[in-house]
Structure 1
Amino acid sequence: MMYNQYWGLTEAPFENTPNPKFLYHSKEHEEALFRLLYVVQQRKGAAVLTGIFGCGKTVLGRALLNQLNKNIYRVAIINNPYLKSVELLRSIARQLGVTELCENLSEMSADTFLQRIEEILVNNHRDGKETLVIIDEAHLIRDDDIFEELRLILNFQTEERFLLTLILMGQTELLDKVRKHKPFAQRVALGYTLAPFDLQDTQKYIEHRLGVAGVKNAQLFTSKALEVVFQNSGGIPRRINQICDMSLLTGFNNNASLVDDKIVEDVIASLGV
């Protein structure tokens, strides 16, 4: 990043990528992570994490994975919810290690994939392994049959426990989709919605990311600038990152010693956010 050296940074602080080391543990995010860990570690079946676009769901999912023992957990992550139900089952099976899967959509059988998934879940359980399936952007699911197939996967149980944990993450409209499919909804042990940051958390979030990126005990944004960032980002991390990134670039270009409210306002005007 061209402004890193100017501001004393060792790396770019406001990239919109799900890097868990930049996760700011707001009270909201701490609570969400605590609940997701509970569902996974206590084998509660399914959880639904929702929030508006850019509020940190994906990075929270990565933080969850970082807290799980990679020698124990077998994980499938689905990032393409536009799949047909049978394609989704194939993708889950493949990521969990099932081999020799059919590639021709017209020849695919949901029953076959379910059987293969059950086999690997049973094998994982026998070997002392846990199985986790995460579906990101799940609000974009278009094939309603997917919820029935997910319900069937959750039916794979011993007398004492589920054989896998399923986490759906998406924007808030995902809740309506889940509620429409009552047999699946009844298997959801946890629903949690991430709220945007308030002013205090917005300020701490910015300071945290700057600290991770190498700025120690230095105030790069004035208090007024931070207020303007909050007012125009709505406390949404993705928007905060966008505004702060361009503000640092503008400050660098202007040879500024600090990012003030005028710089932020100019950036907001140019971004149209």
Structure 2
Amino acid sequence: MYEQHWQFKEKPFQNTPDPRYLYLSAQHEDAIMKLSYCVTQGLGCGMLMGVFGCGKTLLGKALLNDLGKDKVRSAFVSSPSYSEPAELLRAIVRGLSPQPLPDKKSDLLADSLLEKLNAILVDNARDGKENIVIIDETHTIEDAKLFEQLRMILNFQMENKFLLTLLLFGQPELKEKVENNKPLDQRVAIRCSLGPLSEEDVDKYISHRLKVAGRPESGNPVFNKDALKAVFQYSGGIPRRINTLCDFALMSGFAQKAETVDAALVSSVIKDFNLS
């Protein structure tokens, strides 16, 4: 809608996990490095925690890209609000299997799925593929049986090496939930976290997304310094809030035929769209 006005090739502030838009602040680089190490060194289990909207899902997608799609088989399980361990297992098996799974009643049984998962893990490993399971929004799991099921899949090993890497992503309350399953907690080899961006990083984050979207570097800035400060103050450094505010500001700026987004425009958007 506003792309031509601002000289973009695409919208820069979509709240979708597109790895091209990942801005590597120091904390994001640290998390990527640690999680990559967890995978490549076969450490078994890693955990990434952060508040809602800080970029955990996007970082997970970028991690898989960095590892190379030709080198990994991955299951990315989002919002795992399953009622039974077999449902969670089935989602994992579907992600890791190179072939579509038949819909058989026997496949709904946890024991059958565990056998199938073990066979898939072994086949993938023999093909030189890393098996990676990312459970996004793990903190939403309420049933302790599901955490126990996650612990059990870490028992799959070959030649004293883990056949898969399990990465648990979630909000800070995930820490306590994992600690409630002591055997699982003891398997977590890597722990990292994401927090809000600093004011300097917010400026760089916005600049990065504008560049990826195709904005020429010459000419008037899209957001002036006062606007950037206002975005930081409103968002608290949370990327999802930054994206929402900047998207609405660009739309309003387009409607007003503005050449630059200033602090007054940002303030009016916060008020008009009830973002406060």
Contact 1:77 1:135 in 2 (8 A): yes
Q: Which amino acid aligns with 1:132?
A: I
Q: Residues 137-193 of structure 1, C-alpha deviation per residue, up to 9 Å, x if partnerless?
A: 111112211111111110111243101001111111111111111110110111111
TM-score, structure 1 as length reference = 0.94
Matches within 5 A, 1:99-110: 99-100=101-102, 102-103=104-105, 108-110=108-110
Corresponding residue of 1:15: 14
Give the Å deviation of 1:100.
3.6
Q: Which amino acid aligns with 1:166?
A: L
CA distance in 2, matches of 1:210, 1:27: 20
> After alignment, is 12-21 or 157-166 more displaced?
157-166
Q: Which amino acid aligns with 1:236?
A: I
Give the Å deviation of 1:103.
4.3
Q: Which amino acid aligns with 1:253?
A: A
Q: Which amino acid aligns with 2:268?
A: D
CA distance in 2, matches of 1:139, 1:238: 19
Q: Which amino acid aligns with 2:76?
A: I
Query: Structure 2: where are the runs of 5+ without partners?
Result: none
State which of 217, 228, 231 in structure 2 corresponds to 1:229.
231
2:36 counterpart of 1:37:
yes
Identity score, percent = 50
Aligned length: 270
Q: Secondary structure at the match of 1:251?
A: helix
TM-score, structure 2 as length reference = 0.93
Q: Residues 219-253 of structure 1, C-alpha deviation per residue, up to 9 Å, x if partnerless?
A: 11110110010000010000000111111111111
CA distance in 2, matches of 1:128, 1:11: 37
> After alignment, is 122-131 or 207-216 more displaced?
122-131
State which of 261, 264, 268 in structure 2 corresponds to 1:262.
264
CA distance in 2, matches of 1:214, 1:127: 39
Contact 1:94 1:101 in 2 (8 A): no
Matches within 5 A, 1:150-189: 150-189=150-189
Give the Å deviation of 1:118.
1.2
Contact 2:7 2:216 in 1 (8 A): no
Give the Å deviation of 1:125.
2.1
2:101 counterpart of 1:115:
no
Query: Structure 1: where are the runs of 5+ without partners?
Result: none
CA distance in 2, matches of 1:132, 1:18: 18
CA distance in 1, matches of 2:253, 2:176: 43
Q: Secondary structure at the match of 2:8?
A: coil
Contact 2:38 2:46 in 1 (8 A): yes
Q: Which amino acid aligns with 2:225?
A: S
CA distance in 2, matches of 1:22, 1:225: 21
Give the Å deviation of 1:204.
0.6
CA distance in 2, matches of 1:247, 1:127: 49
Q: Secondary structure at the match of 2:157?
A: coil
Q: Which amino acid aligns with 2:223?
A: F
CA distance in 1, matches of 2:105, 2:94: 11
Q: Residues 34-75 of structure 1, C-alpha deviation per residue, up to 9 Å, x if partnerless?
A: 111111111110111111111001110110011123222111
**Alignment root-mean-square deviation, CA:** 1.5
Matches within 5 A, 1:50-65: 50-65=49-64
Contact 1:49 1:170 in 2 (8 A): yes
Corresponding residue of 1:143: 143
Q: Secondary structure at the match of 1:186?
A: helix
Q: Secondary structure at the match of 2:73?
A: strand
